[in-house]
Amino acid sequence: MHNFYRFSFLLLAMIFIFTQSLKSDHRKYVWTYQYMTMDKGKAEFENYLTFSTTDAGNFENNTTLENQFELEVGMTENFDFSIYQVYKQKPGGSLNFDSYKLRARYKLVKKDDFLFDPMIYAEYKGSPDFLKHKFEFKLIMAKDLGHFNVSLNPIIEFEKSKNWQPFFSYSIGMSYEFFELLSLGLEFKGNENGHYFAPVISHGSANLWIAAAPTFMLGGIKSEYPEFLFRTIIGVGI
């Protein structure tokens, strides 16, 4: 196995050991959204760190870094709002400000009113020069069955550089909460350019948590799209 793959699994193990003292709920996925919003009047800082490469056999001078900083605020019991600052570093380049995002989530019904718990996700992404614009909409459908969770996210995006273009994608997450602090699961995501799977570990408390997932291609990836990604998300209540 490639050294980077070994590093990925070692990092997951270190995350598990480091966070043994934490308590309470935690987000279970890095690509898929669950049925949850920030509590009214509370806020959280989140950091998304994503490495990606178009050649899983050669990471040298072939890895892109994306670093996102998010402030998430609970507006009501059913609605929260977030602001993102996104930085990107291309192979051999420096870390630069890439874009900003505004995101809203709204719970449509109370938990367990239907077979799946539905929630709407809406996001706007813009470039610093205001020349590129993207809107993303997700229907978040999730269900907790004891310690088992399944979450489905059909996604549609509208992106404009010259003309508006629609893009369809999806993400699916399945996880099991083994302890109060620890969930292990599997995610799938993809679009017309290819499909991926990711073993995911999530560990922590409502005020301090971390989730991480090495993400591998299943097939059908075009040469300009990543063959391998590694993402971590850290959340800190403020």
How many angstroms separate the CA atoms of 203 and 213, rounded? 12
Computed over every residue of the chain, the mean pLDDT equals 89
The residue among 105, 104, 102 whose CA lies nearest residue 84 is 102
Give me the residues of the chain with pLDDT under 50, please: 1, 15-25
Contact 162, 189 (CB under 8 A): no
Tell me the pTM: 0.86
- Kindly give the pairing relationship between strand 43-53 and strand 228-237: antiparallel
Give the torsion through C-alpha atoms of 47, 28, 209, 76, to 10 deg: 80
- 27: exposed, middle or buried (Cβ count in 10 Å: 0-12, 13-18, 19+): buried
Q: Count the neighbouring beta carbons within 10 Å of the beta carbon of residue 180.
A: 12
The residue among 160, 83, 85, 173 whose CA lies nearest residue 123 is 83
Q: Please, what are the domains in the chain?
A: 3-237 (2.40.160.40)
Q: What is the pLDDT of residues 92-146, one digit of tens each?
A: 899 999 999 999 999 999 999 999 999 999 999 999 998 889 999 999 999 999 9
